[in-house]
Structures are given as structure tokens and as C-alpha cells.
Structure 1
């Protein structure tokens, strides 16, 4: 097969080894898609280098799996190279203006005031969800509450906050 480039023999070889290579690569940690790509790449290398196969040095399976392993290592090394870091343009950097800082402080005070008008249990779930970035299931476990109760409290608190923080029609006149 190797010297004659027998396509039928290679098709049989491919049908036999490609699924085994794919399974082996998946077990080695590759995703199914990547494993299929690696297996096809390895079999293509087998086709191209068939004339280098020496049956006196190794069995065909050993040679093919070694090619697959080496191709995968080459790709992993290539993908692991650090990417060049982009230069950071500091020239266009926005500098905070005093009026922006004042506006942010006023907004923060409005939010604190609105939070003080919520029920303590609503403040607690908002604090855990938004300030500590806890998932709802973790909040439920931590407060020993049903998940639905946690979600309801968060939703009701957000509705009340929206009403408290939206500018009223009288304020906009």
C-alpha cells in the first residue's frame, strides 16, 4: 500500500483507525470536534508519509498512534504560545471630571436611600446577589429559603427600587 499509494487499502486503514484515534484523543482530553480534526490530520499524515513506514521497526497501529500523538502535541504547543499583547492607548483615556464625580456620588446616595426603604429581607438578597455576586441557588442555601422565594424577593425588590429611583413626573417639570 505505502509504495503504490493504494487508495482502497488506505480507505480500509482509515475506516479502521480514524474512529479509534478519535476515541483515544477524546479520552486524552480533546473535544469531540477537535479529536475528529486531529484524527483526520493524523490519517492525512499517514497517507503523505506512508513510504516512511518500516514494518520491521513498529507495527502499523503503533506508528499511526505515534503520528496522532505527535500531531496533537504540535498543535497544543502552537496554541499555547503567548499571543502578542496589544499596546494600550492611554492618549484617548477619559479623565473623570469633577461634575461626573459629583453626579456619581449623588446617584450612589439615591441608591442608598432607596435601599433603606426596602424590607431587610429584600436588602439581604440584593446584597448577596449583586454585591457578592452569589448565584440564586447559593443565596437560597445560605439563607435556608426556597429558591422561588429568593427569586421573588429579588424581583419584588428590583420593582420597588425602580419605582423609587425613576424620576417622578413632578420632578421633571
Structure 2
């Protein structure tokens, strides 16, 4: 790991890949991941190891533990993406509904304007994270990648933003 982190040693990475790729795939398959997806996630895991080798801290965990954690997080992200892709189409939901009554439309537009006002109370950093996570449907990991910030920062900004908005919109529940 040190050779990869310090000098992007390709030979060391080939050895690491040959050793860990089958193990990561087997781990993912034991957790119920289909073989083709497990192989794809194993490759993505080791690509992440190549990119983030400098972040590996041998005092906190062994290489296999660190790699397994990366694989686990990527599997969770893949499951979330799959779950989102299986959500029913908006048009399917709307077909069976009756038209909204005028008072419902007014209540909805009032609620929308209150939510927009609450969004303006957020800091620009919090607003961007909320937009990516809730309006674009990105996972926390994907938001962190897109903004090039740590995952913990994404989660903190979301938590603070939701707390601030909850205070502004409490009476809408």
C-alpha cells in the first residue's frame, strides 16, 4: 500500500489487485450480491484503492479491513441506486388519481413557497448538498465525490440543513 500511495507503483498495485480482487468479489457474493455486479464492484473497489491509497492509515486498520470497508460502501451505494431505479414512474402514480381540488392546489403552492423560503435560510454549502442529495437524488457518497469533500462533511451539512428547515417548517406536519 505504501508503494502505491507514495509513488503510484503499478507493479505493487497489480500484486494487490491479483490478491484482493477475487477476495472482494467473494465477500460481496456472500453478502448476496449477484456475481456480475460483485465483479464490477470489486474492480471499482480496487480502483478506489488506487486513487485513495494515500488515505490508508495502517495504524487504524489493516489493508484488508480498509479494502473491505470500501467494498461494503460501494455495495450499499449500488443497492441505493438500484432501489431508486425501481421506484414507480411518476406517470404511473398520477394516472389513477383524481384532479386536485382548488383548495388542495392552494395548500400545495403555499407549502412549496414555505419550503423555498426555508431553503433560502441555508448556507450556500448546505443548499448545494441538499440540492444534490434530494433534488438530484445522489447518494451521500456521490455528493461527496461531486463536490470533492469528505463524506462526513456531506452528512454534517445535511444534518444541519435539515435541522434548520425542520425548525422553519414544523407547523406543516
The TM-score with structure 1 as length reference comes to: 0.49
TM normalised by structure 2 equals 0.49
Considering only CA atoms, is the larger Rg found in Structure 1 or Structure 2?
Answer: 1
